[in-house]
Amino acid sequence: MIIVIGYFGILFIHAELNNRLYMKSILDNSNGNSGLPRPIRTFVRREGRMTVAQQRAFIEYWGRFGVEADDRLLDLDKVFGRSTSGVLEIGFGNGESLAAMASAHPDVNYLGIEAHRPGVGHLLLRVARLQLTNLRVMCADAVEVLEKQLPDACLDRIQIFFPDPWPKTRHHKRRLIQPRNVGLLARKLKPFGQLHLATDWEDYALSMLDILSATPELVNTVSGNGFAPRPAWRPITRFEQRGLRFGHVIRDLLFARR
Protein backbone atom coordinates (compact mmCIF):
# COMPACT_ATOMS: atom_id res chain seq x y z
CA MET A 1 0.00 0.00 0.00
CA ILE A 2 2.77 2.42 1.02
CA ILE A 3 4.66 1.54 -2.17
CA VAL A 4 1.57 2.27 -4.33
CA ILE A 5 0.95 5.66 -2.62
CA GLY A 6 4.66 6.53 -3.01
CA TYR A 7 4.54 5.61 -6.71
CA PHE A 8 1.51 7.84 -7.38
CA GLY A 9 3.06 10.60 -5.26
CA ILE A 10 6.17 10.60 -7.44
CA LEU A 11 4.01 10.61 -10.60
CA PHE A 12 2.06 13.61 -9.26
CA ILE A 13 5.22 15.60 -8.40
CA HIS A 14 6.69 14.77 -11.81
CA ALA A 15 3.54 15.99 -13.62
CA GLU A 16 3.44 19.14 -11.50
CA LEU A 17 7.09 19.94 -12.26
CA ASN A 18 6.54 19.42 -15.99
CA ASN A 19 3.54 21.69 -15.86
CA ARG A 20 5.52 24.47 -14.14
CA LEU A 21 8.44 24.15 -16.57
CA TYR A 22 5.99 24.31 -19.49
CA MET A 23 4.35 27.48 -18.10
CA LYS A 24 7.79 29.04 -17.47
CA SER A 25 8.88 28.33 -21.06
CA ILE A 26 5.71 30.00 -22.35
CA LEU A 27 6.29 33.06 -20.16
CA ASP A 28 9.99 33.22 -21.07
CA ASN A 29 9.21 33.18 -24.76
CA SER A 30 6.26 35.49 -24.69
CA ASN A 31 6.25 39.12 -25.61
CA GLY A 32 4.14 40.73 -22.90
CA ASN A 33 0.58 39.60 -23.44
CA SER A 34 0.80 39.50 -27.21
CA GLY A 35 1.48 35.76 -27.36
CA LEU A 36 4.22 36.45 -29.92
CA PRO A 37 7.64 34.90 -29.31
CA ARG A 38 10.00 37.34 -27.61
CA PRO A 39 12.82 38.36 -29.96
CA ILE A 40 16.28 37.17 -28.98
CA ARG A 41 18.00 40.37 -27.86
CA THR A 42 21.67 41.07 -28.48
CA PHE A 43 21.92 42.77 -25.06
CA VAL A 44 20.78 42.30 -21.51
CA ARG A 45 19.26 45.37 -19.92
CA ARG A 46 21.40 45.54 -16.77
CA GLU A 47 20.47 49.10 -16.03
CA GLY A 48 22.76 49.65 -13.08
CA ARG A 49 22.32 52.92 -11.31
CA MET A 50 21.93 56.15 -13.26
CA THR A 51 23.89 58.93 -11.66
CA VAL A 52 22.01 62.10 -10.73
CA ALA A 53 23.83 63.89 -13.56
CA GLN A 54 22.72 61.23 -16.08
CA GLN A 55 19.11 61.50 -14.91
CA ARG A 56 19.34 65.27 -15.22
CA ALA A 57 20.78 64.86 -18.71
CA PHE A 58 17.63 63.02 -19.82
CA ILE A 59 15.44 65.79 -18.43
CA GLU A 60 17.50 68.68 -19.80
CA TYR A 61 18.91 67.40 -23.08
CA TRP A 62 16.73 64.57 -24.41
CA GLY A 63 14.39 67.06 -26.10
CA ARG A 64 17.33 68.56 -27.98
CA PHE A 65 19.50 65.55 -28.82
CA GLY A 66 17.25 62.51 -28.30
CA VAL A 67 15.30 60.73 -31.04
CA GLU A 68 12.29 58.66 -30.03
CA ALA A 69 12.12 54.97 -30.91
CA ASP A 70 8.69 54.15 -32.32
CA ASP A 71 7.29 52.85 -35.60
CA ARG A 72 7.77 56.05 -37.60
CA LEU A 73 10.22 56.14 -40.49
CA LEU A 74 13.02 58.63 -39.80
CA ASP A 75 14.05 61.30 -42.25
CA LEU A 76 17.67 61.93 -41.23
CA ASP A 77 17.83 65.27 -43.05
CA LYS A 78 14.90 66.46 -40.92
CA VAL A 79 16.33 64.96 -37.72
CA PHE A 80 19.57 66.95 -38.17
CA GLY A 81 18.09 69.92 -40.00
CA ARG A 82 20.61 69.59 -42.81
CA SER A 83 21.62 67.19 -45.56
CA THR A 84 25.14 65.77 -45.38
CA SER A 85 26.82 62.38 -44.96
CA GLY A 86 25.41 60.26 -42.15
CA VAL A 87 27.07 57.76 -39.81
CA LEU A 88 25.24 55.35 -37.51
CA GLU A 89 26.99 53.86 -34.47
CA ILE A 90 25.33 50.91 -32.77
CA GLY A 91 26.16 50.09 -29.13
CA PHE A 92 28.26 53.15 -28.30
CA GLY A 93 28.59 52.21 -24.60
CA ASN A 94 29.38 55.40 -22.70
CA GLY A 95 29.67 57.29 -26.01
CA GLU A 96 33.04 58.92 -25.34
CA SER A 97 34.56 57.73 -28.63
CA LEU A 98 31.43 58.64 -30.60
CA ALA A 99 31.44 62.15 -29.12
CA ALA A 100 35.13 62.49 -29.99
CA MET A 101 34.45 61.48 -33.61
CA ALA A 102 31.50 63.85 -33.91
CA SER A 103 33.60 66.65 -32.48
CA ALA A 104 36.44 65.93 -34.94
CA HIS A 105 34.08 65.81 -37.97
CA PRO A 106 31.49 68.59 -37.63
CA ASP A 107 30.60 68.22 -41.32
CA VAL A 108 29.19 64.69 -40.72
CA ASN A 109 25.88 63.77 -39.00
CA TYR A 110 26.21 61.06 -36.33
CA LEU A 111 23.32 58.99 -34.99
CA GLY A 112 24.10 56.76 -32.00
CA ILE A 113 21.85 53.93 -30.77
CA GLU A 114 22.46 52.34 -27.38
CA ALA A 115 20.18 50.14 -25.27
CA HIS A 116 21.85 50.94 -21.94
CA ARG A 117 20.24 54.05 -20.42
CA PRO A 118 23.16 55.16 -18.22
CA GLY A 119 25.38 55.11 -21.34
CA VAL A 120 22.86 57.28 -23.17
CA GLY A 121 22.75 59.68 -20.21
CA HIS A 122 26.55 59.83 -20.21
CA LEU A 123 26.64 60.70 -23.91
CA LEU A 124 23.89 63.33 -23.55
CA LEU A 125 26.05 65.10 -20.96
CA ARG A 126 29.04 64.93 -23.29
CA VAL A 127 27.10 66.25 -26.29
CA ALA A 128 25.84 69.18 -24.24
CA ARG A 129 29.26 69.94 -22.78
CA LEU A 130 30.93 69.87 -26.22
CA GLN A 131 27.95 71.74 -27.76
CA LEU A 132 27.76 69.23 -30.60
CA THR A 133 25.10 69.99 -33.17
CA ASN A 134 25.87 66.97 -35.38
CA LEU A 135 25.05 64.13 -32.95
CA ARG A 136 21.66 62.59 -32.08
CA VAL A 137 20.98 59.74 -29.71
CA MET A 138 18.45 56.91 -29.51
CA CYS A 139 17.90 54.67 -26.48
CA ALA A 140 16.60 51.53 -28.14
CA ASP A 141 17.24 48.10 -29.62
CA ALA A 142 19.12 49.00 -32.80
CA VAL A 143 17.81 45.91 -34.60
CA GLU A 144 14.26 47.19 -34.18
CA VAL A 145 15.26 50.68 -35.29
CA LEU A 146 16.89 49.23 -38.41
CA GLU A 147 13.81 47.14 -39.14
CA LYS A 148 11.18 49.81 -38.52
CA GLN A 149 12.62 53.31 -38.63
CA LEU A 150 15.58 53.62 -40.95
CA PRO A 151 14.92 53.79 -44.69
CA ASP A 152 17.04 51.63 -46.99
CA ALA A 153 20.19 53.23 -48.45
CA CYS A 154 20.21 56.17 -46.02
CA LEU A 155 23.68 55.88 -44.42
CA ASP A 156 27.25 56.48 -45.51
CA ARG A 157 28.75 54.41 -42.73
CA ILE A 158 27.62 52.06 -39.98
CA GLN A 159 30.09 51.41 -37.18
CA ILE A 160 29.85 48.79 -34.47
CA PHE A 161 32.82 48.74 -32.13
CA PHE A 162 33.38 45.88 -29.69
CA PRO A 163 29.88 44.41 -29.76
CA ASP A 164 29.10 42.02 -26.90
CA PRO A 165 31.02 38.81 -27.73
CA TRP A 166 28.57 36.37 -26.10
CA PRO A 167 31.42 33.85 -25.72
CA LYS A 168 29.38 30.74 -24.80
CA THR A 169 28.36 28.74 -27.87
CA ARG A 170 24.76 28.49 -26.67
CA HIS A 171 24.63 32.32 -26.62
CA HIS A 172 26.04 32.88 -30.12
CA LYS A 173 22.47 33.41 -31.35
CA ARG A 174 22.55 36.68 -29.36
CA ARG A 175 25.50 38.07 -31.27
CA LEU A 176 24.70 41.25 -33.19
CA ILE A 177 26.86 40.20 -36.11
CA GLN A 178 24.99 37.29 -37.63
CA PRO A 179 23.80 36.78 -41.22
CA ARG A 180 20.26 38.09 -40.74
CA ASN A 181 21.40 41.33 -39.07
CA VAL A 182 24.27 41.87 -41.52
CA GLY A 183 21.82 41.67 -44.45
CA LEU A 184 19.72 44.31 -42.68
CA LEU A 185 22.77 46.54 -42.03
CA ALA A 186 23.89 46.23 -45.67
CA ARG A 187 20.46 47.35 -46.91
CA LYS A 188 20.68 50.57 -44.87
CA LEU A 189 23.96 51.61 -46.53
CA LYS A 190 24.11 53.79 -49.61
CA PRO A 191 26.05 52.30 -52.55
CA PHE A 192 29.77 52.33 -51.55
CA GLY A 193 28.76 53.08 -47.95
CA GLN A 194 30.97 51.42 -45.34
CA LEU A 195 30.36 48.86 -42.63
CA HIS A 196 33.11 49.21 -40.02
CA LEU A 197 33.39 46.64 -37.22
CA ALA A 198 36.01 46.08 -34.54
CA THR A 199 36.42 43.41 -31.91
CA ASP A 200 39.04 42.06 -29.52
CA TRP A 201 37.43 38.60 -29.45
CA GLU A 202 39.33 36.19 -31.73
CA ASP A 203 36.56 33.72 -32.63
CA TYR A 204 34.01 36.54 -33.07
CA ALA A 205 36.46 38.35 -35.40
CA LEU A 206 36.79 35.22 -37.56
CA SER A 207 33.03 34.69 -37.54
CA MET A 208 32.48 38.35 -38.54
CA LEU A 209 34.93 37.96 -41.42
CA ASP A 210 33.13 34.80 -42.65
CA ILE A 211 29.66 36.35 -42.37
CA LEU A 212 30.56 39.67 -44.03
CA SER A 213 32.52 37.92 -46.81
CA ALA A 214 29.48 35.71 -47.51
CA THR A 215 27.07 38.68 -47.72
CA PRO A 216 26.46 39.32 -51.44
CA GLU A 217 25.74 43.06 -50.96
CA LEU A 218 29.14 43.65 -49.33
CA VAL A 219 32.75 43.65 -50.50
CA ASN A 220 35.90 43.68 -48.40
CA THR A 221 37.82 46.93 -48.94
CA VAL A 222 41.08 45.27 -47.89
CA SER A 223 43.29 43.64 -50.49
CA GLY A 224 43.74 39.98 -49.55
CA ASN A 225 40.20 39.95 -48.10
CA GLY A 226 41.35 39.93 -44.49
CA PHE A 227 41.17 42.28 -41.53
CA ALA A 228 41.73 46.01 -42.00
CA PRO A 229 44.49 48.05 -40.39
CA ARG A 230 43.11 50.10 -37.54
CA PRO A 231 42.13 53.49 -39.04
CA ALA A 232 43.86 56.35 -37.21
CA TRP A 233 40.57 58.26 -37.06
CA ARG A 234 38.90 55.64 -34.85
CA PRO A 235 39.31 56.74 -31.20
CA ILE A 236 40.07 53.98 -28.68
CA THR A 237 36.87 52.88 -26.94
CA ARG A 238 36.34 51.86 -23.33
CA PHE A 239 35.92 48.16 -24.20
CA GLU A 240 38.92 48.29 -26.50
CA GLN A 241 41.05 49.56 -23.58
CA ARG A 242 39.77 46.67 -21.49
CA GLY A 243 40.64 44.18 -24.25
CA LEU A 244 44.11 45.66 -24.56
CA ARG A 245 44.64 45.30 -20.80
CA PHE A 246 43.84 41.58 -21.19
CA GLY A 247 46.39 41.35 -24.04
CA HIS A 248 43.72 40.75 -26.72
CA VAL A 249 44.45 41.43 -30.39
CA ILE A 250 42.20 44.12 -31.88
CA ARG A 251 40.69 43.38 -35.31
CA ASP A 252 39.01 45.93 -37.59
CA LEU A 253 36.81 44.94 -40.53
CA LEU A 254 36.01 47.46 -43.26
CA PHE A 255 33.51 46.37 -45.90
CA ALA A 256 31.66 48.45 -48.50
CA ARG A 257 28.18 48.21 -50.01
CA ARG A 258 28.34 47.16 -53.65
Tell me the catalytic residues.
Answer: 164
As measured in angstroms, the least distance from the Cβ of 199 to ligand SAM is 9
| Phi, psi values for residue 34, rounded to 5° | -75, -20
255 binds ligand SAM (CB under 6 A): no
d(CA 87, CA 94): 17
Q: Of the ranges 30-38, 114-122, 150-158, 218-226, which one interacts with ligand SAM (CB under 6 A)?
A: 114-122
As measured in angstroms, the least distance from the Cβ of 227 to ligand SAM is 17
d(CA 98, CA 81): 20
As measured in angstroms, the least distance from the Cβ of 163 to ligand SAM is 5
180 CB neighbour count, 10 Å cutoff: 9
Q: Of the ranges 121-129, 204-212, 213-221, 234-242, which one interacts with ligand SAM (CB under 6 A)?
A: 234-242
115 binds ligand SAM (CB under 6 A): yes
Q: Which residues contact 67 (CB under 8 A, 6 or more apart)?
A: 74, 79, 111, 136, 137, 138
Output b/e per residue, 211-223; b: 16+ Cβ within 10 A: bbeebebbebeee
119 binds ligand SAM (CB under 6 A): yes
199 binds ligand SAM (CB under 6 A): no
Which residue from 54, 149, 215, 237 is in contact with ligand SAM, where contact means CB under 6 A?
237
200 binds ligand SAM (CB under 6 A): no
Parallel, antiparallel, or unpaired for β 135-139 and 155-161? unpaired
Q: What is the DSSP letter of 39?
A: P
As measured in angstroms, the least distance from the Cβ of 243 to ligand SAM is 9
79 CB neighbour count, 10 Å cutoff: 14
Interacting residues toward ligand SAM by CB under 6 A: 42-43, 90-93, 113-116, 119, 141-143, 161-164, 176, 237-240
